[in-house]
Every structure is written in C-alpha cells, then in structure tokens.
Amino acid sequence: MINGEPTENRLALGSKGALRFRITAAGRPAHSAYPERGESAVEKLLDALSRLRAMPLRTHGRLGPESLNIGTLSGGTAANIVPDRAEAEVMMRCVGPASETETRVRLALGDGVGIETLFSCEPAFMEAVEGFETTVVSYTTDIPLLNRWGRPLLLGPGSILDAHAPHESVAKSELEESVSLYLRLIARLRESGEARP
C-alpha cells in the first residue's frame, strides 16, 4: 500500500503516533464576589495543565521529540460566576508506545481532574526503497489503522506545513510529480518481487 499523505514527494521512513485526550475538572458554583463559597473548576484545570506542560517530553533517534498541544479550552458560564466545570482537549505526538505516554500523562495531571482517551495510535516505521529521497514526518499517519494492506509506504505531494492553514493547497506540478514517483515506485517493487500486478 502506498499512502498519499503529504511528504513533499519523499518516501517517509517514520511518523509519530498520537494520543488525544480530554481533561475535565469539576467545581462548585458561587457568586464571584464570594469566591470562597465556591470551587473553581477553571483554576483546577489550569493547575493540571501547568503540571502537564512541565512533564518532560521524550525524544526518539529517528522520530525526534514528542510534542504536546492544548487544542481547546472551555469552562464556566459567566464572568461573575465561579465556574463549576471546565475541560480541555490535548493532542500529543508520541515517539513511543501510546499506552506509556498515557501513563506519563495521568501521573503528570495527578488527582483532581478526569482524563478520557479519545484516540490513540502508535508511531509507524516504514522502509526505504533504493532511488527515492526519504524523510521523517512529525504528524500521525493513517498507516497503523490500515493494517490489512501489506507493506506500507508513505509518499505524497504537498507539505503538512500547509495543512489546516488558509493557504492550504498542493501545486499541480507536485501532483504530476507524485504520479511519476508512484509509477517508479511500483516498478521498483515489481523488480524486487514485492508487488504483484
């Protein structure tokens, strides 16, 4: 299987895994003029996120460093009410087993907040093919989820740096180049006996 996710038309040798989770905090509402009568869920969540941000991140020889992104934050109902609920969604790009990363996250967050795993995926490692320029990508590929398609390869036009941005696009010349690269890659695999017509 050749997965066409964006690699700038280079054959990817590895991609990071992912762990996406929701952190929730509960409090007790009160009038903001008397905050001592309540318990702020937002403050609990902020304290937990500070502990998470202080957690040491691992590095892998091929994949590089882990990353952590606090993607969403929400909580409370009004500025004049001590908030009784708060939550955040976080995405980590893992360089080791997702279960180990989740254990480290739970230890860092500590007691007082809930954590729900929304998605996890292991890092992926692919092989080089002679004659093709290679790279390693920091995003999480779909390859670990497509495990019935034989030997996985990752090569596609475009740059992941353009994804989720207002200028997201792929140049026509890159698309055309990818077609010739796919044909070359299939021919190379057939020569080596790894692909069937």
Nearest CA among 77, 55, 62, 72 for reference residue 20: 72
Residue at 197 is within a domain: no
- Domain end among 121, 153, 168: 121
Global pTM reads 0.86
Both 117 and 129 in a single domain? no
Tokens 């596609």, residue located: 156
- Domain end among 102, 121, 140: 121
Give the separation between CA 50 and CA 3, rounded to whole angstroms.
37
pLDDT confidence of residue 195: 58
- Domain end among 121, 149, 174: 121
pLDDT confidence of residue 10: 97
Report CA torsion sign: 6, 8, 13, 17: negative
Let me know: does 87 contact 49? Beta carbons within 8 Å: no
Both 76 and 158 in a single domain? no
Residue at 98 is within a domain: yes
pLDDT confidence of residue 51: 97
Both 22 and 88 in a single domain? yes
Let me know: does 102 contact 19? Beta carbons within 8 Å: yes
The domain tally of the chain equals 2
pLDDT in tens, the chain (197 residues): 889 999 999 999 999 999 999 999 999 999 999 999 999 999 999 999 999 999 999 999 999 999 999 999 999 999 999 999 999 999 999 999 999 999 999 999 998 999 999 999 999 999 899 999 999 999 999 888 887 777 889 999 999 998 888 888 899 999 999 999 999 999 998 887 765 54
Both 45 and 86 in a single domain? yes
Both 116 and 48 in a single domain? yes
Residue at 39 is within a domain: yes
Let me know: does 121 contact 18? Beta carbons within 8 Å: yes
pLDDT confidence of residue 159: 92
Both 30 and 86 in a single domain? yes
Both 117 and 179 in a single domain? no
Both 74 and 112 in a single domain? yes
Both 30 and 117 in a single domain? yes
Which structural domain, as residue segments, surrounds residue 158? 2-15+124-191
